[in-house]
Structure 1
Amino acid sequence: MSVGDWAGLIAALAFVALVGVLAVPLVKLGRVLDQTRATVKQISDSTGPLLASVTEAVSTTSAQLAKVDTVTTSAAQISTNVSALTGLFAATLGTPVVKVAAFSYGVRSALRRGRARS
């Protein structure tokens, strides 16, 4: 064998070694990609039902909030009506009741003074 044949043999062996060294990471990368594909498939399979559940929960919550809004509106109307009724009661009966109370207080005071002098 000549020097060129030896050089070609060494180059071929070096190329085989290089291919062997590069093949190991490529095989590992292939395994990682397979696991990644399986994980993505699993996530996409579980995302559909999860989104359906979230959509149902949001629609149920929206319906409940509409009911709460109705109750809150009714409570505000009741509060307004009670306030108006209280104002009406104070205007209608408040002044006469205060006058009767003042009159009765004056009569009691006069009777006490009359008893105290006698």
Structure 2
Amino acid sequence: MSAGQIAALIAAGAFVLLVVLVAIPLIKLGRTLDEATIAIRKAHERSDPLLIGANDTITHVNTQLERVEGITANAQAVSGNVSALSSVFTATLGSPLVKAAAFSYGVSKAIRARRKAKDGAEGKHSRRGRKGSGRS
């Protein structure tokens, strides 16, 4: 065998060794990609029921929100009616009640002033006489 043939055999052996060393990571990478593909497929299969459940939940929530919207509209109408009723009450009864309260306050103040004046006209002597008279 000549030196060229030996060099060719060494080069061929080195090439085979290189192919084997590169093939091992490629095989492992292929298995990893297969596992990733299987995991993605399983996740996709399991996500369909989850998405359907989420869609049902959103539909139910929307129904409840429509009910709440109706309730708030009714509450707004009731508050408007109460406001109007209180305005009517204030207009019809509020003013006369305020006048009656002011009149009764004025009358009670006048009665107190009259009693005070009457007690002052009798004088402090009449009270002293009662206290000092010795009647018990």
Fold match by TM threshold 0.5: yes
Counterpart of 2:66, as a letter, is A
Task: Give the length in aligned residue pairs.
Answer: 118
- Between the aligned partners of 1:117 and 1:13, the Cα distance in structure 2 is 138
* Structure 1 match to 2:23: 23
Cα distance between partner residues in 1 of 2:70 and 2:50: 30
Please list, as runs of the form range in 1=range in 2, the aligned pairs for 1:94-105 lying within 5 A after superposition.
94-105=94-105
Structure 1's consecutive aligned runs of 4 or more residues displaced over 6 angstroms after TM superposition are none
Letter in 1 for 2:54: V
> For 1:30 and 1:46, how far apart are their aligned partners in 2?
24
Structure-2 residue corresponding to 1:43? 43
- Between the aligned partners of 2:113 and 2:13, the Cα distance in structure 1 is 134
Q: Distance in 2 between matches of 1:2 and 1:114?
A: 151
Q: What is the TM-score when the length of structure 2 is the normalising length? A: 0.82
Residue 105 of structure 1: CA displacement? 1.4
Return the index of the structure with the highest Cα Rg.
Answer: 2
Q: Note the aligned Cα RMSD (angstroms).
A: 1.0
Q: Counterpart of 1:112?
A: 112
Is there any run of 5+ residues in structure 1 with no aligned partner, and where?
none
Question: Displacement of 1:104 after TM fit?
Answer: 1.2
Could you tell me how far apart the structure 2 residues matched to 1:10 and 1:82 are?
103
Q: Give the structure 1 partner of residue 67 of structure 2.
A: 67
What's the TM-score once normalised by structure 1's chain length?
Answer: 0.94
Deviation at 1:5, TM superposition (A): 1.6
How far residue 4 of structure 1 moved from its aligned partner, in angstroms, is: 2.1
